[in-house]
Structure formats: structure tokens, C-alpha cells
Structure 1
Amino acid sequence: MRRFRLWLICVVIAAAVAPVHGQERVKVVASFSILGDFVKNVGGDRVDVTTLVGPNGDVHVYDPAPSDAKTIAGARLLVINGLGLEGWLPRLLQSSGGKAAIITATRGIAPLKVGSDADPHAWQSVVDAKIYVTNISDALAAADPADAGVFRANARDYLTKLDALDGEVREAVAKIPPSRRKVISTHDAFGYFAAAYGIEFVAPLGVSTESEASARDIAGIITEIKRQKIPAVFLENISDPRLIRRISAETGARVGGTLYSDSLTGEKGDAPTYIELVRHNIKALTATLAD
């Protein structure tokens, strides 16, 4: 009898903690790691997230594998950045033959322009990241109406964290003397950060890592560093460090460490989540520029 009662108690407890819905988790594919992190924060345990371009991957130059088409074919929702970031995506979608709903997470964001190109790196502004999260929450709610309340509650919690993060960044930048708020990065990935927080970035490459810097471009940047007395240059986790190290050697500008632009790291890295990415970047910037 005692065993039966113990078994019954276990059954009741298991029933209490089990999901009340009997649905399968929503299968979501995100084009790259930062979007995948947003989806995980909004979807929680109600989603199954696969990321095409994984940690430390370069979404600009990604070469899809045949298995990616199969992954998309089995998804209910595909989350992309848009603004020209995933140039390889149209052919992949065609080959997948899938019917996943596609959500462009930058919808509603006014894109910055670099020459004639749209700057796709809107997540670098935490204010714009909140728009990403809202769009993803709406898309998940449409894909799985039964769990819409859960998605919206998760999004509210995450947006509160992003509000606090935005405040952290503004407080940190305020400690940097205005005359020192200038740095060199590898490619033009920080325009939205610059517009939101007032640190000027100069980059030898354009908005895509596919571009190449000419000798004239590099000479111009070296002249600019010397003229403006730009104190630091920064590496990026997705880019070849040799160009930045060369610029540092020719100008005497300090290498201030690595910034994370288009990709998270693995779990044991410096930036396994979006919030940790932003915190790492602002810590690296302030540690160098506030001196």
C-alpha cells in the first residue's frame, strides 16, 4: 500500500510539472547565432531552435551545406535578418522546397546606409534589438497561437533585460572622454552602435566581410588615425586579424582587444549570448578608451 501511495504521489507531481499543452515544440530555424539567441529567449522550452551559421561563423560569406536545405524543409518558422545580410539564402530556400513561414526580424527598423548599401547590423543597437525581439515574439505567437501568452511573457521579461542593458551601455560610454570616442574596427559592423551610443567607428572594409580594402583605403585610414589621434584599433572574432595588426603597427594605435560583431561564441567563449556580447564589447571599449 505504501508503495502504491508513493507511486501515486509521483504521478501527481509529474502531471503537475508536465506541459499542459500536448503540442510538439515549434521547429524554428534562425539564419545565424544572434537571431538564434533571441528566439531561444522568447520561445523558451516551447521551441526547438536550429541555427544555420553557428558560433564564430561569418554570415556574410556562409556557404550552405546540403543538410541546411533539409533543416529548413522541416521547420515551421524561419527567422532571418534581412537588409541584404543573407545573400546566400534565396538559392537555399529554392532548394529546400519547404513551406516555413519567414519572418524578417529587422521589420520596422529604418536601415542605415553605407554608400548605396543598407547596413544589416541593426542588432548592434540594443534599442533596435528590442524590435527584433518583438517581431520574433509576434511570429512565434502566429505560428503557435496556443502558446502565444507564453511567448509574450518571455518577450516582456527579455525586453526588461535589454532595457537594463541599454542603460549599462549608455552609462559606460558616458565615462569615455568625447575626444577619445573613436576606434578602428575591421568591417563596418558598428554603425547602429555608433548612432545609438556616440562612439565613432572607422573600418577598412565595408558592411560585408566579402569586400576587400585597397591600398588606397588602408593608406587613408592610417592618415585618419594619425590626424584624429584615434587611440585604438580592434580585432573582430569573424575577421582575419592581419589587416588590423598592420594598421596598428604603422600608426602606433593600441590593439584594444576583440569585438564581437556578427556572431556569438560557443558556450565557453566571451560572448555565448547577445547580452554577454554587448557587455563584452562595451567593457573592451571602455577599458581602452577611458584611459
Structure 2
Amino acid sequence: MSSRFAHFLGTVAAGAMLAGPAAADESRMKVVTTFTVLADMARNVAGDAADVVSITVPGAEIHEYEPTPRDIVRAQDADLILSNGLGLERWFQKFLDQLGDLPSAEVSAGIEPLSISGGEYDGKPNPHAWMGLENAVIYVDNMQAALAANDPDNAEAYAANADAYKEKLRAELDPLRAIIAAVPEENRWLVSCEGAFSYLARDLDMQELFLWPVNADQTGTPKQVKQVIDGVREHDVPAVFCESTVNSAPAKQVARETGAAFGGILYVDSLSKPDGPVPTYLDLLRVTTETIARGLSGAEKDAR
């Protein structure tokens, strides 16, 4: 990927000239995030005091994303870059190196990560920490601190916005827990393609099975599929799911071979477009949890 960057570096300056004047208010700080979930959270903290954009677009797979020259152009005038950290954005450090000396912050800082289980990443931190219901508050606090440190004139606005947003987040937590608590305890198994829901499963008191631990080269192998088929049969799991940014065919194969329902698409690494089902982080948490509850309660028809 670094060679790809080197190949395009000669076009970046020309691209910047072609980009023309920025549409955003240049009096406001420009914040760039690595993916759409962080961008939505950061916009809630920034309010009217800063402009926030995401490098990746809605629906993008975040782990193996390959930045383009346009991404470099859009980010090179940033005042602050926010990334998740915990090894999520494998491409990010090389991308950041192309931008020079820009302030950046990892918004998962201070979270005690769960460990990945299985595969070549066994024992490493599970990077999907924003899916933890309580972790979201830590993300917001880290964003507030980063924004205030780089734009102290608006520190009070960021603090007020963060407090208001955390209240909205907390208001979502108990209803989400109640939705899953209504599912019979023996059915509370979250079976997904990627092991991206470990924090959510923990916070909703669910057991977890997944086909592969992290979106990487080896996804949906016969061995992975067989292991999950065996687990679904052993625990009589009523439904399996898959996230929106990967191929759902292996999960549907598990459903066919076990008689479980394919319970639907879950959202984790990316928001949808504004007119889609999860245009915000709060929507992502709510829709994902409701989909899980419907599938495990038998309210969903087999989508095979």
C-alpha cells in the first residue's frame, strides 16, 4: 500500500489545486475521522464549533481500506485527525505519515479491551470497542478532550455538547438491555460473521459465536463454517446474523445446514447513507440490537 501512496503523491498537489476553495467555514476547526461511526459521534461533540468529515464513506469496510489520493487531499488541511486505534485501521499510520505533522488522537484510549479469540490475531485487542454500551461514553470524553486541546477557544461548547450527547447515549442503554432481556435466556446467542460484537454481547449478557475473528484474508473457510455449524447445533441457536460490510453467504450457509434462521444484517463498522437504516451511531446501536432480538425471538422469517 505504501508503494501505491508513492505512486500517487505526485498527483496530490495538483488534486488539491483542482479541489478549489473549501466549502466548510475556514474559521472553524476541521476534524477528520477514519470512519463514519466516529464522524457521527464527533459531530455531536463538535456541534457548530467544528467541521467533521470521514475518510471512509458509508458502507466501507474499515479494516483493509485503501486510501486514495482524494482522501489525502481531503485530509491534508485537517486541524485534527481522530482514529479508533486498537489496531482497527491497519492502513492508518501510513496514511497519517503522508500528511505530515498533524495532531491526532485515538478515541479508544483508556478502554480496557477484550481479547480476540482465534485466528492469527488471537490474544490481540478486539478493536470494535465502540460497540460496548458504556465504552461509548469514554469515546465521547476522548473526543471532547482532543477537540478542546486543539481548539481551546471553543472548549466550553465542546464540553456542553459532550454532556448533552452522553445523556442521549445513556437514555438508549436501558431500553437496549430490556430488548435483549426479553429474549429467553437459552436463546441469547449472538452468532455473526466477524467477531465484531464481543463488547455488545458482553454488555447485553449474551453468549457469542462467530465465523472469523477479524475481517482479513481468511473469511468463510470450510473450517470456520463447520465450527459454527457445530456450535449452532449444540446450543440450538435459533438465528444467525452477518454485518453489513461483508459477504453474508457463509452465515446463510450455516443457517441452511442447521435449520436456524438467517436473522438479518447487523451494523458495526459503518453507518448507512442518510436515507438508510442507520444514519447515526445511535441508530446503529438500536437497529442492530432490535434485529438481534427479533431473530432470536423467532419474529424473523428465514431469509434464505
> Alpha carbons of 1:151 and 1:173: their partners in 2 closer, same or farther (altered >3 Å)?
same
Among 215, 219, 224, the alignment partner of 1:208 is: 215
- Aligned-partner Cα distance in 1 for 2:253–2:215: 20
Per-residue Cα deviation, 1:158-196 (whole angstroms, up to 9, x for no partner): 000111111111111211111000131110100001111
Larger Rg computed on CA atoms: 1
Q: RMSD value over aligned CA atoms?
A: 1.4
Q: Which amino acid in 2 is paired with 1:164?
A: A
Q: Which amino acid in 2 is paired with 1:110?
A: E
Q: Is the Cα contact below 8 Å between 1:72 and 1:100 reproduced in 2?
A: no
Among 33, 43, 53, the alignment partner of 1:30 is: 33
Deviation at 1:217, TM superposition (A): 2.1
- Aligned-partner Cα distance in 1 for 2:136–2:184: 26
Which SS does the other structure have where 2:264 is aligned? strand
Structure 1 residue aligned with 2:90: 87
Among 162, 167, 172, the alignment partner of 2:169 is: 162
Among 96, 99, 107, the alignment partner of 2:99 is: 96
Matching of residue 192 in structure 1 with residue 199 in structure 2? yes
Q: Which amino acid in 1 is paired with 2:31?
A: V
Deviation at 1:23, TM superposition (A): 7.8
Deviation at 1:209, TM superposition (A): 4.2
Q: Which amino acid in 2 is paired with 1:250?
A: E
Mark the runs of 5 or more structure 1 residues left unpaired by the alignment: 1-21
- Once structures 1 and 2 are overlaid, which stretch shifts more, 155-164 or 279-288? 279-288
1:32-181 equivalent positions in 2, closer than 5 A: 32-97=35-100, 99-114=101-116, 115-181=122-188
TM-score (normalised: structure 2): 0.85
Structure 1 residue aligned with 2:285: 278
Identity of aligned residues (%): 34
Per-residue Cα deviation, 1:12-64 (whole angstroms, up to 9, x for no partner): xxxxxxxxxx9811100000000000110000111111101111111011010
Q: Which amino acid in 1 is paired with 2:275?
A: K
Q: Is the Cα contact below 8 Å between 1:60 and 1:210 reproduced in 2?
A: no
Matching of residue 243 in structure 1 with residue 258 in structure 2? no
> Alpha carbons of 1:23 and 1:218: their partners in 2 closer, same or farther (altered >3 Å)?
closer
Which SS does the other structure have where 1:79 is aligned? strand
> Alpha carbons of 1:23 and 1:53: their partners in 2 closer, same or farther (altered >3 Å)?
closer
Aligned residues: 269
Q: Is the Cα contact below 8 Å between 1:231 and 1:254 reproduced in 2?
A: yes
Q: Is the Cα contact below 8 Å between 1:33 and 1:51 reproduced in 2?
A: yes
Q: Is the Cα contact below 8 Å between 1:61 and 1:210 reproduced in 2?
A: no
Q: Is the Cα contact below 8 Å between 2:194 and 2:242 reproduced in 1?
A: no
- Aligned-partner Cα distance in 2 for 1:154–1:289: 36
Deviation at 1:210, TM superposition (A): 4.0
Q: Is the Cα contact below 8 Å between 2:36 and 2:270 reproduced in 1?
A: yes
> Alpha carbons of 1:161 and 1:34: their partners in 2 closer, same or farther (altered >3 Å)?
same
Mark the runs of 5 or more structure 2 residues left unpaired by the alignment: 1-24, 117-121, 299-304
Q: Which amino acid in 2 is paired with 1:61?
A: E
- Aligned-partner Cα distance in 1 for 2:27–2:98: 26
